[in-house]
């Protein structure tokens, strides 16, 4: 991958939402997906904040190994429902199960972010925690959400930016 001078960093993520947010903020970056096994981290995590930070760092480090002179940003989002870590659903049935769990109570959304530059020995890792207060969903809303496919590839089986906000009463913390 060529990294032109106007590129400020490499984003170790294929998430369209992350790319949109960074572009809206005026950043110029290249995208290089990481090749890590997220499931391996999920099995060993003690809490959601630790997991989000570990995944963000692992993604950034994996890409930084390939581009040691570049600044690499990794990020990962996990959902915490009463201490239970909720990742991305495996299929529609799993997405429905997660949706029923989360839209019945407040839950936390934790995003870990890591900035790495191997050549300069830089490694910064932080996490942002937001509490989501959802609206109770009807059976029709749950069915429509699952049928939409908007749950695919998203921690907690929803993205607040893709009509998930109509299901939310309030967000304490960062919307992004």
2 assigned to some structural domain:
no
31 assigned to some structural domain:
yes
pLDDT digits (tens, 9 = 90+) for 57-86: 999 999 999 999 999 999 999 999 999 999
Tally the domains of the chain. 1
- 5 has pLDDT over 90: no
Residue 76: active-site member? yes
What is the average per-residue pLDDT within 15-42? Answer: 90
Beta carbons of 123 and 100 less than 8 angstroms apart: no
Q: Please give the structure tokens belonging to residue 109.
A: 């959304």
Q: What pLDDT does residue 11 have?
A: 97
Q: What pLDDT does residue 165 have?
A: 67
47 assigned to some structural domain:
yes
pTM above the 0.75 mark? Answer: yes
78 assigned to some structural domain:
yes
Q: What pLDDT does residue 4 have?
A: 53
Considering the chain, what is the average pLDDT of its residues? 90
Percent of the chain with pLDDT over 70: 93
* C-alpha dihedral sign at 91, 104, 132, 107: negative
Greater pLDDT, 126 or 166: 126
Count CA atoms closer than 13 A to 31's CA, side-chain side.
Answer: 11
Tell me, what CATH number does 138's domain have? 3.90.950.10
Mention every residue, 6+ apart, whose C-beta is less than 8 A from residue 63.
10, 12, 32, 33, 34, 72, 74
101 assigned to some structural domain:
yes
96 assigned to some structural domain:
yes
Which residues span the domain enclosing 114? Answer: 9-172
Q: What pLDDT does residue 164 have?
A: 55
156 assigned to some structural domain:
yes
Given the residues 37, 47, 76, 165, the one annotated as active site = 76
Beta carbons of 91 and 131 less than 8 angstroms apart: no
Mention every residue, 6+ apart, whose C-beta is less than 8 A from residue 23.
none
4 assigned to some structural domain:
no
Cα–Cα distance between 169 and 136 in angstroms, integer? 9
Q: What pLDDT does residue 68 have?
A: 95
Q: What pLDDT does residue 94 have?
A: 97
pLDDT digits (tens, 9 = 90+) for 93-146: 999 999 999 998 999 999 999 999 999 999 999 999 999 999 999 999 999 999
């Amino acid at each position: 991958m060529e990294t032109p001078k106007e590129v400020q960093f490499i984003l170790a993520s294929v998430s369209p939402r992350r790319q949109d947010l960074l572009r809206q903020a005026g950043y110029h970056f290249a995208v290089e997906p990481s090749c890590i096994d997220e499931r391996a981290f999920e099995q060993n995590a003690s809490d959601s904040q630790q997991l989000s930070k570990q995944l963000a760092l692992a993604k950034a480090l994996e890409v930084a190994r390939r581009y040691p002179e570049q600044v690499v940003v990794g990020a990962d989002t996990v959902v915490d429902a009463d201490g239970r870590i909720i990742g991305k659903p495996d299929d529609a049935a799993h997405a429905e199960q997660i949706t029923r769990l989360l839209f019945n109570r407040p839950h936390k959304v934790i995003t870990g972010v890591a900035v790495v530059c191997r050549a300069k020995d830089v490694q910064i890792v932080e996490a942002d925690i937001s509490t989501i207060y959802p609206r109770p969903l009807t059976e029709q809303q749950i069915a429509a959400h699952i049928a939409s496919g908007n749950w695919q590839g998203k921690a907690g089986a929803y993205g607040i930016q893709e009509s998930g906000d109509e299901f939310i009463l309030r967000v304490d913390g960062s919307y992004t």
